[in-house]
Amino acid sequence: MKNSSQIRRYIEGILQSCRLAVLATEAHGQPHASLIAITPVQGFRQLIFSTYRNTRKFENILNNGRIAVLIQGEDKDNLNPQKGFALTAYGRAQEIGISELEEAVHAHLERHPNLVNMLNSENIVIIRIKVEAYQVVRGIDDVIWWPVVDSEN
């Protein structure tokens, strides 16, 4: 991947095909990792996920909204079928406000219909991650940092 548009297409492809990720949060110096179901929003600029209010991940986000989201998989387009990738999104997480909640729930439910019971719970919260940068790793010597603010519209 040589240019910004190739990197963007690669990231968007991963986000469209991968449905699960690992969320990394932190509180009081203690890291915490959680498996989450992700839904990309605005192409690659935002990710949303749902969680219950009484979880450590939600408490950590309230105390420190800085997060990382790791998506791992295998490159399907590569000639070497054993070549894997890791895509990490870095950014800030915050609860989606009431004015945007219905649209976010609909988008998340469309991508993850198996979460219908969870999304109908009164104790649920939808979190938006505003991605600031991505790190694409396709090998020990193949690492690309891609700031979202410098990306194409």
- What are the strands, taking DSSP E only, across 7-151? 20-27, 30-37, 39-41, 46-52, 66-74, 84-95, 124-139, 142-147
- Region class of 29: left (phi > 0), else alpha (psi between -120 and 50), else beta: left
| pLDDT tens-digit map of 1-59 | 678 888 999 999 999 999 999 999 999 999 999 999 999 998 889 999 999 999 999 99
- Quote the pLDDT of residue 3: 85
**What's the confidence (pLDDT) of residue 152?**
53
The enclosing domain of 62 has a CATH number of 2.30.110.10
Residue 139 to residue 75: CA distance in whole angstroms: 11
- Structural domain tally of the chain? 1
Q: Return the bridge partners of 71, or none.
A: 87
d(CA 60, CA 32): 8
For 124, the domain range is: 4-150
The pLDDT tens digits for 82-132 are: 578 899 999 999 999 999 999 999 999 999 999 999 999 989 999 999 999
